[in-house]
Structure 1
Amino acid sequence: MLLRSMLDTHATRFATTEPDLLEKAGITDGIVLPDCNRNEPLQSLKCLIRSFGTVFSLRPAVIISTGAAPGFFCLLAGRLIGARTVWIDSVANVEQLSKSGTLARFVATEWLTQWSHLAKPNGPHHAGAVL
Structure 2
Amino acid sequence: MSKKLIAIASTGGHYVQLSRIMKQANFDSNDILFVRTKVNEHDTSSFENETLIEDVSRDTLARTPIVAFQLLKIILKHKPKWIVTTGAMPGLTSIVIGRILLRKTMWVDSIANTKQLSASGRMAKKFAHKTLTQWPDLAGDNVEYKGRVI
Query: What is the TM-score normalised by the length of structure 2?
Result: 0.75
1:130 aligns with 2:114: no
Separation in 2 of the partners of 1:83 and 1:22?
25
Deviates most, 67-76 or 35-44: 35-44
Q: Deviations over 1:65-124 (max 9, x none)?
A: 11211111111111112111111011121222111101111211111111111111x321
Find the aligned partners of 2:115 and 2:45 in 1 and give their Cα distance. 29
Q: Tell me, in whole angstroms, the C-alpha distance in 1 between the residues paired with 2:132 and 2:27.
A: 22
Structure-2 residue corresponding to 1:70: 90
Residue type matched to 1:4 in 2? Answer: M
Greater RCO, 1 or 2 (C-alpha within 8 Å, sep 6+): 2
Structure 1: how far apart are the matches of 2:144 and 2:126? 14
- 2:74 is aligned to 54
**Percent of aligned positions with the same letter in both sequences?**
28
Q: What are structure 1's unaligned runs of at least 5 residues?
A: none
Structure 2 residues not aligned, in runs of 5+? 1-18
Could you say which structure has the higher strand fraction? 2
Q: RMSD in angstroms over aligned alpha carbons? A: 2.0
Secondary structure of 2:33's aligned partner: coil
Work out the number of aligned pairs and report it. 127
